[in-house]
Amino acid sequence: MKKLNYLIIILLSLVVFNRAGQASDITLVGQLNTSLTTLYTEQTGLSLLPQANLDLELLLPARNNNEIKCAGYVFTNIAEKSVDFFWKKLYWKHRFDNFHLTIGRQPISWSFGSLLNPVDYTLGAVTLEKELNLKFQNALELYYPINWNTNLSLVTSLEKEDLSGKFGLRGRTLIRDFDITIHYIQENIKIGEIGDYRFGFTAKGDIGKFGVYSALGYYSEEKAYSLLAGFDYSYFFPAGNQLYIQAEYLNIPPKILSKIVGSLIFLSPEEKNTHLLAGNISYKIDEFSSIGVATLYSYSNNSLSLLPTYTNQLSTNCSLKIQGGLMSKPIFKAEPSTLEDLVKQSAILFLEIGLTYAF
């Protein structure tokens, strides 16, 4: 609770000492998320996991090219049976004539629309379009716009766990209507140690009605490469419904993949690169509801994950989300012939029902 009190004190201090204008210019917004998850694993059997979290952000008006962002995340810690929080945003940003400077706790992700990102600033910051805690860094960022379609970014941050240093340099431009980026990251920097480094390259554009993208990465610790290639496509029906399809292929070292997908799929302890297929299909039923399913399939060990989802906007402020999950063990013998066979050999099953209220 000391951390929570500290959060409240800083929020109030920002309000008191902000000289941007009237109190009506300052707004507190947030989102309350509650969910109940039914989880089954071979090790623990069947269990129920209630969860609740609260996103809070204080909107402060910009003044004299200065911005202050303050956002906290309050959540229930099931393991410790307590309430805790972490900062999402607590930074100051100033727009100079030639560059922008941002200092403090801030979201950093070099995403480019892929389901999995093997060349992000922090691996696993965004997975299957879901933001994770790794995205929010204590960092300093310099952003230098060269012209309307070309810019440079320099980021340096401090890892909380072992206080190791990290920095990244990224360039971005537009070549023949393709968004091109290239970056270099040095991480795990300690006193007397230079750490490890990574290179990344991404390209994204359109070919006809399809959006296409690719990424190439190199990792010094594994001395290995990764390759990603994907596409997306949207089809709009006359009635206004929308079908969206996205699929990608990823060839990547297993240790790097585990940092990106976590426990979403079973990985084999192999030295060679893992071959993974990721897909997402969603259908917008009407203006308020949609259904979809995300898929991960490793044909290096024949493991499969299915994540079906249903969402419904119940009212202006309230929404419902129902998500299921089925993660199968690696299949080394004959593949299952029916869905029942697949469920029997599955190691993880879950069903989550969640409600979200925004204010």
Task: Return the structure tokens found at 208.
Answer: 């006809």
Tell whether 41 is covered by a domain. Answer: no
Query: For residue 304, what are the domain limits?
Result: 222-359
164 assigned to some structural domain: no
Handedness of CA 80, 81, 84, 88 (dihedral sign): positive
Q: What is the DSSP letter of 110?
A: -
Q: CA dihedral defined by 340, 341, 344, 347, rounded to 10 degrees?
A: -110
Number of domains in the chain: 1
Contacts with 144 (C-beta within 8 Å, 6 or more apart), sequence order: 98, 99, 100, 151, 152, 153, 154
Nearest Cα to Cα of residue 117 among 198, 205, 215, 186? 215
pTM (2 d.p.): 0.85
Is residue 304, in this structure, part of any structural domain at all? yes
Long-range contacts from 200-208, C-beta under 8 angstroms, 24+ separation: 200/110, 200/118, 200/119, 201/119, 202/110, 202/112, 202/119, 203/178, 203/179, 204/112, 204/113, 204/178, 204/179, 205/176, 205/177, 205/178, 205/179, 206/177
Q: Per the domain annotation, does 200 fall within a domain?
A: no
State the DSSP code for 265. Answer: S
Q: Do 215 and 200 form a contact (C-beta atoms < 8 A)? A: yes
Residue 294 included in any domain: yes
Token duo for residue 357 = 């209220």
Instruction: Determine, yes or no, domain membership for 216.
Output: no
pLDDT one-digit tens code per residue, 106-149: 999 999 999 999 999 999 999 998 999 999 999 999 999 999 99
pLDDT of residue 20: 46
Write down the pLDDT at residue 347. 74
Per-residue pLDDT tens for 88-102? Answer: 999 999 999 999 999
Number of neighbours of residue 77 by Cβ within 10 angstroms: 11
Residue 177 domain-assigned (yes or no): no
Burial of 209 (0-12, 13-18, 19+ CB in 10 A): exposed
pLDDT < 70 regions, the chain: 1-24, 79, 160-161, 269-271, 330-346
**Residue 336: its pLDDT value, please?**
46
Cβ pair 169, 190 in contact under 8 A: no
**Is residue 228 one of the residues assigned to a domain?**
yes
